[in-house]
Each structure stands twice: as structure tokens, then as C-alpha cells.
Amino acid sequence: MADYPLNDRGSLQVVTENFYDAEIIRVFGDLPLGTPRSYDGPAVLVPEPDHPVDPTTITVRINGQRVGHLAPQDAERYWPSITRVVASGYDAVATAHLKASLVAADDFTEVDADLRLDLAAPDLLFPLNSAPQRATVLPQGSSIKVLDESQHAEYLHSVLPRTGEGRVMLTLEVNQVRTPAGEHVDIVEVLHQRQVVGRLSTQLSEVFIPVIRHAFDHDLLTAAWGTIRGTSYEVSLTVQAARPDMIPDEWFERLPREFLPLEPEADSYRVPNAYVPSELEAARPSRWRRRSGGATGTAETTHGAFPGLAGRGEQEDTQSPKRAPRASGRGSSRAHPPGSQAERAGGGRQVQGGRPDGTFVGLLAITAALVVLGLIFVGREPLVTALCLIVALAAGLMAFYLRSVMPGSTRRSEQDSAGLDDDARQQVGTGPDTRDDIPTVAEPAQRDKTPNES
């Protein structure tokens, strides 16, 4: 399809986050880490009526790469204008300014990009009139004031839209006029729909006349974009055209006819489906899992790398009651020597041969030391004396309390240890627990019965 250049008298920010990293890198061919790159050139605005999320999505593509999309509110405003261009059989083209760099994040790299379009407001994208059929359009540039437009105010007011501003297509033609001094000079007249509406200054006319004559030698008129502004009392007209020294040589070779006929204005237009997911859009679930942190992400990684590990702990907890004590008994008897169970039950204290426990003796020593310290400061520091006596009292009470509970704890621990050792000895055999496994109990009973029977 042919390119339809959109009016570039404005600026529009484009959304580039989330899903266009791979496509942006392809635009530059290579994007080194930490090295900014820039692109200034044409971009195509593509409406996507088949987009799965928003059927009014408008994406921006550079060299076929989908590098961004208009914000939802902007896409809604531009949708009628862009679809009109596409329905007319053209590509809606605007000048894009893309800046991108590859930056390092926590555990991955991503593209930091900024994209802007030279694009006018939706109601100023198209001119109010058409350019002549045989005309080449000058590249747009800075505004040039049109002189003597007040002499044509009545006609210009008939062209002025109700909004007070509009874009128009103007024609620049060379005409010879006579000055008050009687000299004949060439000037550039400005025409709208073959109606003269003003002129350029003498200095600018001298600059543009060679360009206009170059197009005329190729049987073409010279057209330019213009803007009309005004109220019911006054009106002004400007031309937006690049100065001849800023016009690229390619323009002189091609003499492009950029203004193309469009479909008549309508409420809506039929456009083809154009949605093509970007690489990261297609892989969105897996990318979200990689970037999500916390316990959930860790659990997913563990399940994927080690299948079946996550449920092993629950399986051990749900074993039958017969196996749990057997495993516990074997593990305790093998891993700990006699007396170790008593140490754990008594909180790390051990009584051997009736000797006093070390903790008890230590607390008594601390109590005595605090009492002595308190007596030293009597009369000097009453507050220190009181504090020492309070702590000494607490330490002494704690010592006698621990002394009172140690014997019972030791006896219970020894009983538990003996019971665990008995279980371990009973479970050394591999056969089931039947009457055949206890011959020492059956033999005395048999001897007791023999005399009575005889």
C-alpha cells in the first residue's frame, strides 16, 4: 500500500513498556548494554480491530516491527482518522523518534525506550480541502506568514471551520507584479482552491521561486500545507513548508504527490484484521512467573526442577501408627547414648551420683555476689543497693525452684529412656509379634502345669 503522511504539527507519546523489547532491539539490529540508541524516521500506525483485549488498539510499527501502541484514550481519539486512511487503501505514516537502551535489572535485562510521534490532533490530521490533482507537496516545516490575507477576509471566513482552526492545502504560484516604483518583480502568490488569498514576502519569494519552477518544468504545481485560524472578527493564514535549503535532494528527484484521495467521512470504516502478538505477549505467563518473587515463585521453581519433592514431608506425616514409633525407637537408640534423653527432658541439666547441678550452684553464687555488691554500696548508692538485692532475690528463688524440679525430671527422663531402649530391643527381630516370639514366658507356664496333670 502507498504511504499516507499524516499531519505532523504536534507530538504524541507512545506506550512502549512491557511487551516490545525484542522488536525494539531488532529495529537497531543490536542494542549494547548501557549504550543509548536513537531512531528518527517513518513509522506506520496500524489499527487492530481483532486485538484480544481492546478492539480499538492502534500499534506503531517501524520496519515491520511492532514497537509500541497508543494509550487507550489516544487510540479512541485517533481511531476514526487512522481507520479512514487504512480503509482508503493507504498506510498511515508519521515521523517517529525512538530512543532506547538496554538496562540491567535484578536478575534480567530489559529495554528502556521512549517513543514519540510527530502527529497533529485528530481534527487537524486532514486538510479541509484537496490539493490539485497534478501537484507535488512540499515537506512540512516552520510556519511562514502569508501577507495581505486581510484583503481576502470575506473568502477566508467562509473557509474557517467552527472550531476556529483548520488545516488547508494551498498552492504556491509565481506571478509578476508591478511595484509602486514601476518595476516588475516576481512574487509567490498563495492560492486556495484556485482563489488567491495572499502572498509571500519578497525575500521568501526569491527563495521559493526556483523550487516552484523546478516542479513546473515537470508539469506539476507546488502545493503546501497551511493553517487557518481566526474568529468572526479576524482571520490569519500561515504556510508550513520547509525552506528550500532544508529540502532533501530526494524530494527534487521524486517530486512526491503525498496528498492522496480518501474515503468520504463516515461514522465507521471497515479495516482488515492486523493483530500479531509480540514475542513477550505470546510468552506472558512464563515471563510473569520468572519475574514474580516470594514463596509462590520459589515453590513453582522447586516443583519444576525436582518433581515429587514438595509432597514428601506430608507423606511421612501420614504414615500408619505402627511404623511411626518403630522408626522413632530405632532412630533414638542409635543416635543417642544412654542418658541423652534425660538431658533433653531436664532442659540440659544432669544429676550424676547425687551431686548438685551446676546451674543451681551458679545461681547461688550469683545471688551471693549480688548481696555482697549491694552491701558495698549501702549508704553510697541506695538505688544500686536496692537493684542488687532485688536481682539477688530473684536469682536465689530461681535456684531453689530449679533444685526442686530436677529430681522428678531426671526420673521421668530415665524412665522414658528405658522405655525407648526396650522398644528398640523388642524390634530387633524381623518377624511379626506372635506367641512364638516369647518362649521365655511359655516355658515356666508349661512346667507349672506338668505336676498337676501327672
Compute the half-sphere exposure of residue 252: CA atoms within 13 Å on the CB side of its CA.
12
Per-residue pLDDT at 329:
40
C-alpha 237/C-alpha 199 separation (Å) is: 10
Domain ranges of the chain: 2-122, 135-254, 358-401
Provide the pLDDT for residue 443: 44
Fold of 2-122: Alpha-Beta Plaits (3.30.70)
pLDDT at 441: 42
Q: CA-to-CA distance for 443 and 445, rounded, in angstroms? A: 5
Per-position b or e across 369-398, b if 16+ CB within 10 A of its CB: ebbebbeeeeeeeeeebeebbebbeebbee
Q: What is the dihedral of CA 143, 5, 75, 101, to 10 degrees?
A: -90
Q: Which helix or strand (DSSP H or E) is residue 384 part of?
A: helix 382-426
Chain-centre distance for alpha carbon 196: 55
| Single pTM value for the model | 0.54
Q: Which amino acid is at 6?
A: L
Question: From CA 295, how far away is CA 92, in angstroms rounded?
Answer: 48
- pLDDT recorded at residue 258: 64
pLDDT of residue 353: 44
Can you give the pLDDT of all 454 residues of the chain as single tens digits?
A: 778 888 887 899 999 976 888 899 999 988 888 889 999 999 999 999 999 999 999 999 999 999 999 999 999 999 999 999 999 999 999 999 999 998 887 778 888 999 999 999 998 888 888 888 889 999 888 889 999 998 999 999 999 998 888 999 999 999 988 877 878 889 999 999 999 999 999 999 999 999 999 999 999 999 999 999 998 889 999 999 999 999 999 999 999 876 678 888 899 999 999 998 888 777 765 443 333 333 333 333 333 333 333 333 333 344 333 433 434 443 443 344 444 443 443 444 444 444 556 787 888 888 888 888 888 887 778 888 888 889 888 888 888 888 787 654 444 444 555 544 555 444 444 444 444 444 444 444 444 444 444 3
- Closest Cα to residue 39, out of 9, 61, 11? 61
Q: Which residues contact 380 (CB under 8 A, 6 or more apart)?
A: none
3-state secondary structure of 407: helix
Q: Which are the contacts of 183, defined by CB distance < 8 A and separation ≥ 6? A: none
As a 3-state breakdown, the chain gives helix, strand, coil percent values, each rounded to 5, of 45, 25, 35
> Is the Cβ–Cβ distance between 242 and 139 less than 8 Å?
yes
pLDDT computed for residue 284 by the predictor: 63
pLDDT at 18: 67
Q: Could you tell me the three cell numbers for 344?
A: 533433653
Contacts of 105 (CB under 8 A, 6+ apart): none
**Nearest 5°: phi and psi at 237?**
-135, 135
Q: Which of 80, 78, 34 is nearest to 60 (CA)?
A: 78
